[in-house]
Amino acid sequence: MKTELYTKAQIDEAAKQIQLGELVSFPTETVYGLGADATNDTAVQKVYQAKGRPSDNPLIVHVADVATVEKYAEPLSDAAKKLIKQFWPGPLTLIFNLKPDALSTHVTGGLTTAAFRMPNNQATLDLIKTAGIPLVGPSANTSGKPSPTLAEHVYHDLNGKIAGILDDGATQLGVESTVLDMSTEVPTVLRPGAVSIEQLEAIIGNVVSNKHHVGLKEVPKAPGMKYKHYAPNAQVYIVDQPSEFPEALKWAGQQPFLVGLMVTDELAANLTLPANVELYSLGTDVNSASHLLFAALRHFDENPQVKAILTEAFKPEGIGAAYMNRLDKSAGQRHFGDDR
């Protein structure tokens, strides 16, 4: 099919495609999502087909109001209401127990829970309201690849596979939302994001923060917990300390292929790069690095001569926890020096 590029003035056209059961990518403050009618089982199945996504990987339901969540979920706790008041619309996804048979198993991954989010992007909120239905919205990329932060990234991966892309420019944050499971006795962070552990605990008290992976036979309750994610074709290596970069670049210079380098400007200024190393700036600090991470990985993915990528690490605190979570998965947990 032909993939249309919609502007914000064409939201009615994009919403019509959603109502017809087609797929339309939408912008959020985190990354671009792949939208489909969450109540249309056939449309939801198209999402898995377009992305090449495993069928047991649940989808986040995007809403424009709390009433929609209450339609499908069990009654919300006081803690959940406090979080919604503080962080919605915004980069926080909440997992709730569902009313019986409320949503398709293709949305939930066969679980009795579902994840909900209200994105902080007016174009997408308008799209949801105009369509009149909640939208599933996994990242709009080929499954396992770096998430899209520009409409161009979506077009690169899904052109001809989806009806359209609602273009609202670059996303603001660049990493996906924090996922907090509210169906457990103690709220549990299943995926770190822009809303930090400290911010959550300031609102509702203690949360569990170390459950980011599941085993091969377990069904994940949130995206990104089981399968390799965010990975370019080249092998990514995490360089844990700035002092390790001279040795890492020495190794890079000995390779018979191009090596990508992703570091902040301050670190780059103190490095001598071999001729076969290409630099991609991560900006000034962990905030800009988080914003640019997926764009940088995609940049190197476009050059088949790049066979390895060396990437700067940050302390896993605040937004750094989200950055390191995504980087760790893109690298398959490989750090420079692990096999040397």
Residues tagged in the binding site annotation for L-threonine: 30, 62, 117, 177
Q: CA torsion angle for 79, 39, 45, 24 (degrees, to 10)?
A: -90
**Phi, psi (deg, nearest 5) at residue 203:** -95, -45
Ramachandran assignment for 135, one of left (phi > 0), alpha (psi -120 to 50 degrees), beta (any other): beta
Residues 121 and 11 sit within 8 Å (Cβ to Cβ): no
Binding residues for ATP: 53, 57, 113, 139, 147, 191, 230
C-alpha distances (whole Å) from 217 to each of 81, 104, 214 are 33, 21, 8
DSSP 8-state symbol, 208: B
The runs of H, that is alpha helices, within 244-335 are 245-253, 265-268, 286-301, 319-330
> Could you give the CA distance from residue 6 to residue 9 in angstroms, rounded to a whole number?
8
CA atoms within 13 A on the CB side of 114: 31
β-partners of residue 95 are 115, 181
Length of the chain: 340
> Could you give the CA distance from residue 55 to residue 115 in angstroms, rounded to a whole number?
16
Binding residues: 30, 53, 57, 62, 113, 117, 139, 147, 177, 191, 230
Map tokens 């940049």 to a residue: 299
When computed from its CA atoms, the radius of gyration of the chain, rounded to whole angstroms, is 20
Largest CA distance in the chain: 61
> Could you give the CA distance from residue 157 to residue 114 in angstroms, rounded to a whole number?
26
Q: How many CB atoms lie within 10 A of CB 198?
A: 11
Of 268, 252, 272, which Cα lies nearest the Cα of 260? Answer: 252
